[in-house]
Amino acid sequence: MFDLDRVISLLRQGRHITEETVYALCLLSQELLMNESNVTHVNTPVTICGDIHGQLHDLLTLFEKSGGIEKSRYIFLGDFVDRGFYSLESFLLLLCYKLRYPDRITLIRGNHETRQITKVYGFYDEIMRKYGNSNVWRYCCEVFDYLSLGAIINQSVFCVHGGLSPDVMTIDEIRSVDRKQEVPHEGAMCDLLWSDPDDVDTWSLSPRGAGFLFGGQQVQEFLSRNGVDLIARAHQLVMEGYKEMFDNGLVTVWSAPNYCYRCGNVAAVLRIDDDLSRSYTIFEAVQPQNDVGNTILPTRKPQMDYFL
């Protein structure tokens, strides 16, 4: 229906993709993703990547610094869209890579891969600006519904976008969740995408308005009960690119450098090798181009910042 390699080349340049091509790409992606389980099994070595948030040029730097999709295996922990100016190109590029190299890239759903959030934080407006209608936004949102909720690496590392849930004691329970829907406002699926680690003794309601705060005790109980050594998650800005907590039982990985083009942070990815050793690659932001394709950098309108 379309030349996948040509589409990849256009997306890497931030060039315009026709609405018909986006539709076909999203349809093929849905067919591929619907066959994946809620918790995808991934083998080592693998590179874990945090939030991207539409920063296409930094996504390209991420691949450049970490080996590239042609040679390496990747897990992306969600939040591909919103806030940045290249959400569509970033998400579609990852979908193209998923179609080209299905065994080398795993895409996990983040809390921004929803209709409600993308209407507020930039993705919807970006598509309206680029296409003049919301069709492409609808096609992408239908793909969001098929993204996995987590991944397990060599039965030792559990990957999720946000964190834990008081409604989920085991990874097997996540496998029974009906993920093919808009993210609910509460419950296990919501918590996996919205929760955060914090210095708390018990489950506490999150100030984000969704999900929970959880502490070291909840992490250790989850690790022990499921026989895993590490929880790798994203969801929170970390100025140093990554942050290990709770006796190294949990790590937050953040992969959007100079977040929102103003935070001044560096970014990181985490590589898990065959012996389960961890190594981090740190990288800085590149200056986004404003002279490519239909990617116009608009004056950003104020947004409701539930959290950076």
Asked whether the beta carbons of 230 and 158 are under 8 A apart, the reply is: yes
Which of 253, 261, 263 lies closest to 231, judged by CA? Answer: 253
Which of 161, 52, 259 lies closest to 61, judged by CA? Answer: 52
Q: For this structure, is 53 an active site residue?
A: no
Residue of 53, 57, 112, 235 marked active site: 112
The number of angstroms, rounded, from the C-alpha of 295 to the middle of its chain's C-alpha atoms is 21
152-162 burial, b for 16+ CB within 10 Å, e for fewer?
bbbeebbbbbb
Rounded Cα distance, 51 and 258, in Å: 12
Q: Which residues are tagged catalytic?
A: 112
